[in-house]
Chains A and B, each alone.
Chain A
């Protein structure tokens, strides 16, 4: 499977999970983006630009903090204001921020999205095995 196909599969998988999460009580919306495109679904359209800037900044600050504090690779960032909480994740080449009410349990949302990560890893492993098998097959094929 090509890198492009993997990215598209991950995007589709995330979108599917996000549709379920989006319908939950207290979820205000999400921003999902990669280097080429973005998918935005926010209750209040007037906040899209502010939320997009906050999303980018939170992930960037999270990466800086992970490096400085030696936290290893960043799994997630949570920022909490007086009104809203934001859960941000980097999954493959996708950068995702989910905006929610402070009372929503972000750990539950994170676990739901972890399934996507898990599937991604499983698929990556499956693809790698397939490629290895294919290589072996290629070797075994008599000329």
Chain B
């Protein structure tokens, strides 16, 4: 229902603005959730794959909210909407103000409404947990955060035993980062309500030691 509603919305947007040549919504993992009816089949896998690689490198500028390509025949824009990405391409004569309105106002509103209406949204509305931030440094700190195993077990239990390997961290000033997660192995940190955040993400989020951050699991599709 959610995907169908999004497809209808994308098609209607295209009906209103025929200069839009292609539109679809995909997840960070690269799955296309909804796509407007197209005149011609075009493979988007290469673009999504390339875009995913760009997302990883965009941590240094605080994540990737918008990606805009101007060509001599048209434009393409990929915009972050909640935890998904909306891709729109249009001919050169398209009204860019309208494209921006679609990406920044219309679709976020549609998706917010759908999440409220649809009883089984794509991603469960999972209440976040407040944890104390701690910088995870060292040669092998990698890009995986560490939290108490009990929290991971509880999340998994509430999600039909789904394997939780990715989380979303949100700071008090609204900065968000996603990263892999695993259980804390060092005994000295085990019983504490803290999250050990890899140094690179720690810096990106701009958090201080002991600062409370909201942490929630990224729910695997279909759970």
Contact = CB atoms under 8 A, between A and B. Distances in A.
| Interface-centre pick from B44, B59, B60, B75 (highest chain A CB count, 10 A) | B60
Interface of A: 47, 50-51, 53-54, 57-58, 60-62, 64-66, 68-86, 99
B165 to A, nearest CB: 24
B50 A71 contact: no
Given A81-B61, A82-B62, A83-B62, A73 B50 contact: no
Given A58-B54, A73-B71, A75-B71, A64 B46 contact: yes
27 contacts: A50-B57, A58-B54, A65-B50, A66-B69, A68-B44, A68-B46, A69-B71, A69-B89, A70-B21, A70-B42, A70-B74, A71-B69, A71-B71, A71-B72, A71-B76, A72-B74, A75-B72, A77-B70, A79-B54, A80-B64, A80-B67, A80-B68, A81-B58, A81-B63, A82-B62, A84-B62, A86-B61
B73 interface: yes
Nearest to B176: A82
A80 to B, nearest CB: 4
A61 B65 contact: no
A47 B53 CA distance: 18
Contacts of A60: 50
Given A61-B51, A82-B62, A83-B62, A77 B69 contact: yes
Interface string B105-143: 000000000000000000000000000000000000000
Interface residues of B, number: 34
Given A77-B67, A79-B64, A84-B62, A69 B42 contact: yes
Interface in B25-45: 42-44
A66 B75 CA distance: 8
A66 B71 contact: yes
B29 to A, nearest CB: 17
B70 A74 contact: yes
A98 to B, nearest CB: 12
B62 A81 contact: yes
B22 interface: yes
A57 B64 CA distance: 13
A interface, over-half SS:
mixed
Contact of A61 (B53, B61, B70, B71): B53
Nearest to B52: A61
| Interface-centre pick from B44, B65, B66, B70 (highest chain A CB count, 10 A) | B70
Nearest to A55: B57
Nearest to B89: A69
A70 B73 contact: yes
A70 to B, nearest CB: 7
A81 B65 contact: yes
B92 to A, nearest CB: 8
A85 B75 CA distance: 18
Given A60-B50, A71-B71, 19 more contacts: A47-B60, A51-B60, A54-B60, A61-B50, A61-B51, A65-B50, A65-B76, A69-B74, A69-B76, A69-B89, A71-B70, A71-B75, A72-B73, A74-B71, A78-B68, A78-B70, A80-B68, A81-B61, A85-B61
